Amino acid sequence: MTTPLHRVWAALGGAREDLDRLTVTGPPAPLRSTFAVTAAGTAAVGASLLAATDRPVALDTRALAIALRSERYVLRGGRSAGSVFDPLSAFHRTADGWLRLHANYPWHRAAALRVLGTTEERAPAAIAERAGVELETALHAAGGVGAAVRTAQRWRAETGAPPPLVKRHVVGDAAPRPARRPRVLDLTRVIAGPVATRTLALHGADVLRLDHPDRPEIPLQAADTLPGKRSALLDLHDAARREELLAGADVVVTGYRPGALDAFGLSPQALAQRHPGLVVVTLSAWGEQGPWGGRRGFDSLVQAACGIAVEEGSAEAPGALPAQVLDHATGYLGAAATLLALAAQRREGGTRHVRLSLAGTAAWLQDLPRSAVADVADVDPAPHLQDVGDLTLAAPPGSVDGEPLRWSGPAPSFGTAEPRWR
């Protein structure tokens, strides 16, 4: 039988016989959805476990359900750390349908209010006076983020064939690098990229995340996605320090829109010339081709634009998946692809580029076989949480050789590390 994991593992270039090392337990669909959310999450996380080790691995779908919503379970000092969603980050009525707005970061929120020319209180009324596509275009031009709600048919008619789930290629010649603890330069934000690099840290990589000093991360998101990493602040215009870090890295993971980091010499082709032998992983919202290739985007907006919101709800009342599974699944797939590309580089050489996108993951999810929606009991999160310093976090999903995976201490701290390799 061909399962979503079989298809994913083949797309990643994994050996078919490895699939026998994974055991999956638990209810088949602890996350209620029109879509095969649990199957997609199982495939993505299962692939990351298989790529990380040659030992037997296991995954329980109840732990998976908590891990795919890890940002919901963050506690600090035993108290809720709140929500990452700004009140404006919601579905809003437009003159011709619905628009999903994203305003979690202050700069995106400010851009939205500039475009609307009003206050937060008046924003829904201002949105209701405008057409969805016109407003999403204006938001993008002003540095904001939003997406009109579409059906899947309309989305594919407007944008063409979706990006592949994963694309792998060699972008330059290089000798195989010697095996060592991988050094991962993490240039990602929000969820997908940070989940990928969080997973690499879990499996032993030395991960150094860099953020611009003027672009702080949302505290809850930092707490959720920094376990096992070191977090530093660096303006990438500091060419000397940037090149020093690149020269010492084995992997570079970027999570910005295509082309956003090219001015810093961080395109895969430029990196292949200056630092041959790297594994370069690029994650984006919409992919690199087509009319949306250069746009900012987030999981909730991809759900809205590509038709998921309509099918999870209706055209009259769009809905959302029970987890930000486009983000989380793309993150785990990115980790699996990184580990397999790193192994291939050490065997065969080359500078290797792996490309993933939320839109590619969305298209894959939409094409997976679906079953009737059934009532399912909520998973009790308590057995699947872990204390890390003063934080309580969703524990990493899965086990290796019967031993559950656990985050290492101390508690993550944003921007406190030096931007250098150990």
Q: How confident is the model at residue 422 (pLDDT cuts 50, 70, 90)?
A: confident
Q: How far apart are the C-alpha atoms of 51 and 170, rounded to whole Å?
A: 19
What is the DSSP-derived secondary structure letter of residue 206?
E
3-state secondary structure of 353: strand
Query: What's the pLDDT score for residue 373?
Result: 65
User: Across all residues in the chain, what is the average pLDDT?
Assistant: 95
The CA distance from 310 to 244, in Å, is: 47
Looking at the predicted structure, is the pLDDT value of residue 256 above 70? yes
pLDDT at 100: 97
Q: What is the pLDDT of residue 259?
A: 87
3-state class of 335 per DSSP? helix
Contacts of 41 (CB under 8 A, 6+ apart): 31, 64, 65, 67, 68, 323, 325, 328, 329, 332
| 338 alpha carbon, distance to own chain's centre | 14
pTM for this model (two decimals): 0.96
Residue ranges and CATH numbers for the domains of the chain are 1-80+156-421 (3.40.50.10540)
* DSSP per position, 78-132: TEE---S--TTSSEEEETTEEEEE---SHHHHHHHHHHHTS-TTTHHHHHHTS-H
- Per-residue pLDDT, 374: 65
Q: What is the mean pLDDT of residues 153-166?
A: 94
pLDDT tens, 280-296?
999 999 998 888 988 99
Q: What is the pLDDT of residue 1?
A: 63
Per-residue tokens: 174: 């290089």
pLDDT reported for residue 201: 97
Compute the half-sphere exposure of residue 421: CA atoms within 13 Å on the CB side of its CA. Answer: 17
Helix%, strand%, coil% for the chain, nearest 5: 40, 20, 45
Whether residue 232 is predicted with pLDDT greater than 80 in this model: the reply is yes
Burial of 90 (0-12, 13-18, 19+ CB in 10 A): middle
Give the C-alpha distances (Å, rounded to integers) separating 66 from 81, 180, 224.
16, 32, 12
The string of pLDDT tens digits covering residues 357-412 is 999 999 999 999 987 666 778 899 999 999 999 999 999 999 999 999 999 988 88
Confidence tier at 271 by pLDDT (50, 70, 90) = very high
| Mean pLDDT of the 155-159 span | 94
Q: What is the pLDDT of residues 75-130, one digit of tens each?
A: 999 998 888 899 999 999 999 999 999 999 999 999 999 999 999 999 999 999 99
- DSSP designation for 227: T
Q: Is the pLDDT of residue 60 over 70?
A: yes
Q: Is the pLDDT of residue 2 over 70?
A: yes
pLDDT score of 270: 96
